[in-house]
Amino acid sequence: MRKYLTVGEREGCVNFTFMEGSNTRMVHVLPNVVLHDVLADEPEVRAKLRSCLRANIRNNCDAPIMELHLHQHIRDWIEQISDMGFEYAVVWPDGTWPQGTEFEDVLLNIVDTKFAPNWIVSGKPLNKRSENKYVEWDYDFPVVINIKQWDSIGRPHILGDSGEAVTFDVNEDSMYTTDPEILMPSSWFKTQIGFKKYDRRCLFLDSAIGQGLQNVQIVYNLSKFDELVEHIQTTKISEDFDVVLPWIHNNNLVDETPINLLRCEGDALSEEKLQLYTFKLLKYQIVYITNTELVPTDDCKVDFTTMILPCSGLHQFYHIMHNRNSYERIVWFDFNPYAVKWIKNVVENWDGTDFKGFVEKNRHSITNSGEILDSNIIYDPDLVDEFMEKVGWTDDEWREFMTEMRTKENIFATVDAVKQWPELVEHAGTDGEVFIQLTNIWQYEANYLNTDGLDAQLAFISLLNGIVKTNRSLYLTGDTPMGTHYRYKNIKELKGIF
């Protein structure tokens, strides 16, 4: 389980929030600074982009997360990272995030095998010699700081002050290209480039380039490593921003327009914008026939009478199995009507044997309308075998279980747990022992891209509070909005949840 630490000694404020992780070599940093001019007057867009970044780090990465809360020039956070013994800090500007689960391993392999020991910082440096400006970062790409090397050269100030900047006073014609692969602190390099105090304040980490070179440190262009670039998502948010604004602010986009029309409109977007746009359409993007997480291995000693379960995969049956002697009804819910349709078909028509055969004969029921594509279905036959082996039941035992389930009350509800949480509270009933499985619903990007302000977080608290107030007990398994994972947590024991 990830845990939070809030730290701050400046004027009694919290400078940053630190969320623990299992990777002990690096930290992911979410900066508190506007790095794209188009976002200066768009705090809601920044918040939505930040939610995508936060969700993808939590879902795909193992390293800790540090989210900054004060101004860009305060360096308490980088000193804290060094003091805690981490080697690297990966700083993610708004509009970027790690793509898939391999980013950390690929990055560490690059710095371990391809970088010289005396490098201090890496990202995507831009040579603005045509504008007679110093080299600066392209903030459509993350910046990686070599914390140990920064510490070894005396912790120079690399954040946001005017500092030492790289200028182009000498021999401009022999300067590097606009997109240099590496900046070397060689004697040749120093004859070509001038270092001086620049009159303007550098933007966030731009000073790190000049400070590094002045301290005889190498600056690498991380964007030249294709094996890493494929694991980095960038929206290039400053480009065609006027095209993004209408749909990113429309929280009801997928409910107002037919999904296939939205997909066609998405075809006109750039590759960088398409990923962000696709998050908005999640409601019709995935149906889970099998789960992607591990089979549950624990259970709760409480006898639940009501079970509230998402329409995803086979793992929900595990929770039901451990409450066969007590449960009276099941509330199956999902915001995707086709996920609800699928689980309803399974509950009502699967006899408990040959689930893979049942899938092959019935998966067309999800795709017949054309709104759900076959590629939208998450199904792995090997995971069916894994689940069945874990349960260890015979065909007769499965038949008995499914027949028994059909004698109970099964409610199939197409409900958005974030936007329509009062409906789930109503379905939960009153005076019962309730179990709710929320998996990682509150880690979905769509729930923040399609709501404003704190609505998604308030929905989470309101849903649990609404059920717990009218029932004898409520136990939760799933992630909170801030990423804490609970297993069979008794909500009545809490006075706050994060």
Q: Identify the pLDDT of residue 37.
A: 94
Question: How many CA atoms does the CB half-sphere of 496 hold within 13 Å?
Answer: 2
Question: How many CA atoms does the CB half-sphere of 450 hold within 13 Å?
Answer: 25
Q: Identify the pLDDT of residue 201.
A: 53
pTM of the full predicted structure? 0.90
Q: Identify the pLDDT of residue 179.
A: 66
Q: Identify the pLDDT of residue 158.
A: 84
Instruction: Determine contact, residues 379/290, Cβ cutoff 8 Å.
Output: yes
Tokens matching residue 351: 């006899």
- pLDDT beneath 50: ranges in the chain: 1, 12, 132, 162, 167-176, 187-192, 199-200
> Which residue matches tokens 């209408």?
246
Q: Give the C-alpha separation, 295 to 318, whole Å.
A: 8
Q: Give the C-alpha separation, 52 to 59, whole Å.
A: 10
Q: Give the C-alpha separation, 159 to 32, whole Å.
A: 12
Q: Identify the pLDDT of residue 157.
A: 82
* Bridge pairing between strands 125-126 and 136-137: antiparallel
> pLDDT for 179-235, tens place per residue?
677 777 654 444 445 555 554 456 888 888 878 887 888 889 999 999 999 999 999
Instruction: Determine contact, residues 51/448, Cβ cutoff 8 Å.
Output: yes
Q: Identify the pLDDT of residue 228.
A: 97
Q: Identify the pLDDT of residue 183.
A: 75
Q: Identify the pLDDT of residue 130.
A: 55
Instruction: Determine contact, residues 439/296, Cβ cutoff 8 Å.
Output: no
Kindly report the backbone phi and psi dihedral angles of residue 200, in degrees, each rounded to the nearest multiple of 5, phi listed first.
-95, 155
Instruction: Determine contact, residues 302/388, Cβ cutoff 8 Å.
Output: no
Q: Give the C-alpha separation, 419 to 14, whole Å.
A: 31
| Helical spans, DSSP H, in 223-371 | 226-229, 241-249, 253-256, 259-266, 271-280, 315-321, 337-349, 355-362, 364-367
Which CA distances in Å does 4 have to 10, 16, 132?
A: 19, 10, 44
